[in-house]
Chains A and B, each alone.
Chain A
Amino acid sequence: EAGVAQSPRYKIIEKRQSVAFWCNPISGHATLYWYQQILGQGPKLLIQFQNNGVVDDSQLPKDRFSAERLKGVDSTLKIQPAKLEDSAVYLCASSSAVVEAFFGQGTRLTVV
């Protein structure tokens, strides 16, 4: 069974630029999560999708972050414009009805 795929693995951008991350969940998984993990901290939930609907986005900085999950499969997370404090690893995870979440390897973003 293929795991959660994320791309790119690494990205370096200048502040005020925009960036997008892509996630392909495990086939058949209805739930998709995006997390932000700042160095030395635990993952912080940004947004949770159930199929193509948003379950929770209370911690998503909506003035600069956006996410979508078209057709309830792949998802993209965008930051525009980026700030220095957005430097982090962005993790995507998916789960089915059995609750356990499977994580991708993440995208390491550096904003300079």
Chain B
Amino acid sequence: AQSVTQLGSHVSVSEGALVLLRCNYSSSVPPYLFWYVQYPNQGLQLLLKYTTGATLVKGINGFEAEFKKSETSFHLTKPSAHMSDAAEYFCAVINNAGNMLTFGGGTRLMVKP
């Protein structure tokens, strides 16, 4: 079985500050990892994904995440927050057979002017 834990259900940063959203996973097989963003009353939009290869992955809107196998982590970062980044962010894991896409509980990012 696989699972995802997102530390901090709410994160608040000032505009222009570093964004760091934490994600830890458990999986019995090498995982594929994802970050999705959800704006109010919308579905989920993919920010970035890790499958194989380079452990630092870059996504849309200036976000990036680093896969650290030794720490079973896949934290999401952005150097400078923008007001438009305010949303709910979900980390997800899937096994390499493409089954059971499992989500964490989500982190609501608030950006203060």
Chain A positions within 8 Å of B, measured between CB atoms, are 4, 31, 33, 35, 40-45, 48, 55-56, 91, 93, 95, 97, 99-106, 108
Interface segment among B11-19, B64-72, B76-84, B94-102: the answer is B94-102
Contact, CB under 8 Å: B45 / A103: yes
Asked if B90 lies at the interface with its beta carbon under 8 angstroms from chain A, I say yes
Are A43 and B99 CB-contacts (below 8 A) given A99-B32, A105-B42, A106-B43? no
What residues on B are CB-neighbors of A35 within 8 Å?
103
A-B contact count (CB 8 A): 58
Closest to A91 in B: B43
Q: Which residues of A contact B44 (CB under 8 A)?
A: 43, 91, 93, 103
Chain B residues numbered 1-56 whose CB sits less than 8 Å from any CB in chain A: 4, 6, 32, 34, 36, 41-46, 49, 51
Q: Which residue of B lies closest to A10 (CB)?
A: B41
Contacts of B103 in A (CB 8 A): 35, 42-45
Q: Which of A35, A40, A41, A99 has the most CB of B within 10 A?
A: A99
- Taking a contact as CB atoms under 8 Å apart, the answer to whether A42 and B90 are in contact is yes
**Cβ–Cβ < 8 Å partners of A33 in chain B:** 101
Residues of chain B with a CB closer than 8 A to A43's CB: 44, 90, 103
The residue of chain A having its C-beta at the shortest distance from the C-beta of B6 within the complex is A42
6 closest Cβ contacts across the A-B interface? A103-B43, A42-B103, A103-B44, A42-B105, A105-B43, A42-B106
How far is it, in angstroms, between the C-alpha of A40 and the C-alpha of B38 when the chains are bound? 12
CB within 8 A of B99: which of A42, A56, A97, A100? Answer: A56
Q: For residue A44, which residue of chain B has the nearest CB?
A: B103
Q: How far is the CA of A95 from the CA of B104 in the complex (A)?
A: 19
